Amino acid sequence: MTITRRVARLASVLCLAFLAPLAARAELVIEITQGVDDPTPIAIVPFAGTGAIPEDIAGVVQGDLARSGQFDPVDRGDMLSLPSSEAEIFYRDWRAIGTEYLLIGRASAAEELRIDYALYDVNRQREVTTGTVTGPVNEARMLAHRVSDAIYERLTGIPGAFATRLLYVSVTRNPGGKDYYRLTLADSDGARPIVLLESREPVMAPTWAPDASQVAYVSFETGRPAIFRQDLRTGAREQLTNFKGLNSSPAWSPDGNTLALVLSKDGSPDIYLLDLASKRLTRITRHYAIDTEPTWMPDGKSLLFTSDRGGRPQIYRYNLQSGITDRVTFEGVYNARARVAQDGRNVALVHQREGQFHIAIHDLVTERLHVLTSTDLDESPSIAPNGSMVLYATKLGDRGILSAVSVDGGVKFRLPARSGDVREPAWSPYISP
C-alpha cells in the first residue's frame, strides 16, 4: 500500500522530469516494487527559491530517497508548515506526523544555481548536517541529486549514487523490419534522456570510461560489428576495431588506458587488450571455447570473463601478472556476464536456475552465490558505483524493461520505458562535479 502511495507521489515528480527540454523517445518511468520493511520517514520540504529555478529541487531529492527504498518521504499535503530556515521549524508539528528527519533548503538562481540545505533530527530536535551545492542553472537536476547523495550518505553511511547517469539501448520494432536502435544517456532516475546514437542496425554493450567522459559500444552500422568510442561532451566518435568476425564486449580498465574486448579474428572468440594510446593489441586468452564478456577487477590486476571451456558458460578470472586463469563460479550450469562492485568482492552476474535466468551476486570471498531476482530472462547487470543497487534488463510481458534491485535483494524498482524495448543498462562511475 505504501508502495502505491509512493508511486503515485513519484509520478507527480517524474511528470516534471519529462518536461525536460531534451525529449527522447525511450523515456523511463520509475515504479518502486519493493522497499525495505521499515523505511525511515523523512520530510523533504519544498525548497524556497529566488530567481528562475528550473526544477523542483526538493521533488528530485524526494524521488531519489524514495527510490532507494530506505526512506519513506512524507506527503507534501501532510506538511503543516513549509519552513526554509531553522527559525521556522516547529518540531512538534513534524513529530505529530511521525517523521524522523526533516530536510529544508533554499535555491537561488543567478549566473549560477546555488542550493543550501539543512537536515534536522526531529526527535532530538537538532541539526544533523548542512551543505551547499553550486553549478550551472541547466544542471539543476544534477545539483539536486548531489543534495540527495549528501543526505543519503549522512543517514546510511553509504555514499549516494544519485548524481550519476545511465546508458541504455532501446529498440523500436517497426513493421517491415525497419527497426531502430538507440543508445541513450539519462540521469540515474531516467530523467533527461539524450540519444547518443541512432541506427537501423544493432547497437550493443555500452560501457563507461572510468572518468565518465566517454563511452564505448558495439555498433553494426557498417553491416558488421565494430567497436566505437564516443566523447560525451563533443560527440566525437572513433572506430576502434574492425576485425573479421566478432568485435564485442568493450570494457575500460580502471586507469582508463586500456580497453578489454573480444575478437574472433584468430578463430574463436578470445579476450584482447587494446592500448588506447598506441592502439597495440594483446591477446589474453587462447582457447577454442568461447571467451567473452571481460570485466576488470577494481584494482586493474585481473579480469573476470565468461567462458564455456568447461562445457557451459562460467565465470573465470585471468590474472594479468601471473597469466593464470582460474574458474570462479561453480554453482549451477550457467553463470555469465560478471560485473564487479567497487569493493572488489560482490560480483553481479546472470545465473540460470531451474531453467530461468536471474541476477545473482557471487561473493568472491565466501565463494557463495545468492540469487537476487525472481523474474525470468534477467540480463546485463550493472552495479551502482556505491555498490548498493544492481540495475539490469528483464522482460515485462513481451517488452524489455530496466529493473533495479539492492545487492541484499531487499529493495526493487522498475524503470519501464514509455515505448519500445529497453536493455543493456550501464550505470556510470561517480561523476566529479
Given the complex with other proteins, which of 266 and 275 has the nearer CB atom? Answer: 266
C-alpha–C-alpha distance, residues 116 and 324, integer Å? 52
C-alpha–C-alpha distance, residues 96 and 300, integer Å? 52
| Residue 121 main-chain phi, psi, to 5 deg | -90, 115
Half-sphere exposure of 408 (CA within 13 A, CB side): 9
| Residue 278-297 contact track with other proteins, rule CB under 8 A, x = bound | ----------xxx-xx----
Name residue 73's beta-bridge partners.
Answer: 42
| Near other proteins by CB under 8 A: residue from 95, 126, 312, 418 | 312
| Near other proteins by CB under 8 A: residue from 114, 337, 339, 412 | 337
Given the complex with other proteins, which of 88 and 326 has the nearer CB atom? Answer: 326
Minimum CB separation from other proteins for residue 227, in Å?
Answer: 12
Closest CA to 42 of 120, 105, 116: 120
C-alpha–C-alpha distance, residues 77 and 377, integer Å? 40
Report if residue 249 touches other proteins, rule: CB under 8 A: yes
Q: Which stretch binds other proteins (CB under 8 A): 11-19, 57-65, 185-193, 376-384?
A: 376-384
DSSP E strands in 247-344: the ranges are 247-252, 258-263, 270-275, 281-283, 291-296, 302-307, 314-319, 325-327, 335-340
C-alpha–C-alpha distance, residues 382 and 389, integer Å? 8
Query: Do the beta carbons of residue 26 and residue 409 sit within 8 Å?
Result: no
Altogether, the residues listed in the chain come to a count of 433
| Near other proteins by CB under 8 A: residue from 336, 402, 407, 415 | 336
Given the complex with other proteins, which of 327 and 370 has the nearer CB atom? Answer: 327
Given the complex with other proteins, which of 122 and 348 has the nearer CB atom? Answer: 348
Given the complex with other proteins, which of 290 and 304 has the nearer CB atom? Answer: 290
Report if residue 314 touches other proteins, rule: CB under 8 A: yes
Report if residue 174 touches other proteins, rule: CB under 8 A: no
Report if residue 311 touches other proteins, rule: CB under 8 A: yes
Given the complex with other proteins, which of 234 and 366 has the nearer CB atom? Answer: 366
DSSP 106-140: EEEESSSEEEEEEEEETTTTEEEEEEEEEE-GGGH
Q: Which stretch binds other proteins (CB under 8 A): 53-61, 111-119, 244-252, 275-283?
A: 244-252
| Near other proteins by CB under 8 A: residue from 80, 110, 324, 377 | 377
Sheet containing 399-406: give its strands across.
Answer: 31-34, 412-415, 399-406, 389-396, 379-383
Given the complex with other proteins, which of 210 and 225 has the nearer CB atom? Answer: 225
Report if residue 365 touches other proteins, rule: CB under 8 A: yes
Report if residue 299 touches other proteins, rule: CB under 8 A: no
Grid cell at residue 129: 548536517
| Residue 332 main-chain phi, psi, to 5 deg | 85, 175
Closest CA to 394 of 416, 372, 369: 416
Report if residue 62 touches other proteins, rule: CB under 8 A: no
Q: Which stretch binds other proteins (CB under 8 A): 74-82, 142-150, 264-272, 407-415?
A: 264-272
C-alpha–C-alpha distance, residues 379 and 204, integer Å? 13
Following CA atoms 55, 56, 57, 59 in sequence, which dihedral angle do they give, to the nearest 10 degrees? Answer: -140
Report if residue 396 touches other proteins, rule: CB under 8 A: no
Interacting residues with other proteins (CB under 8 A): 173, 202, 204-205, 220, 224-225, 245-246, 248-249, 262, 264, 266-269, 288-290, 292-293, 306, 308-314, 327, 330, 334, 336-337, 350, 352, 357, 365-367, 376-377, 379-380, 395, 398, 423-424
